[in-house]
């Protein structure tokens, strides 16, 4: 996403059905994504819990 992904906006490279990244591992895969490491603490026990935690992280790190 040119200029980065704004908080609360779904990445344009995320498949809406499978939730998989369409460009994972490709040369244009963003460095910020390469550096991200998901943990059990961040992901929780469900997709809903992971989204809540990621949203909270986005809010707390907003410039």
Q: Which residues pair with 14 in a beta bridge?
A: 21
CB of 55 closer than 8 Å to CB of 3 = no
pLDDT tens for 9-27 read 889 999 999 999 999 999 9
Q: What is the DSSP string of 11-51?
A: -TTB-TTT--BTTTTSTTS-HHHHH----HHHHTTSHHHHH
User: Is 8's pLDDT higher than 90?
Assistant: no
Give, in degrees to the nearest 5, the angle at Cα 10 between 33 and 36. Answer: 15
Measured distance CA(46)–CA(51) in Å, rounded: 9
Please report the pLDDT score of residue 62 as a whole number.
Answer: 79
pLDDT tens for 36-62 read 898 999 999 999 999 999 889 888 887
């Amino acid at each position: 996403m040119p200029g980065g992904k704004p908080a609360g906006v779904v990445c344009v490279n995320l498949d809406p059905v499978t939730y998989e990244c369409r460009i994972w591992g490709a040369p244009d895969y963003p460095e910020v994504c390469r550096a991200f490491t998901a943990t059990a603490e961040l992901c929780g026990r469900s997709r809903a819990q992971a989204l809540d935690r990621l949203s909270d992280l986005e809010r707390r790190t907003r410039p």
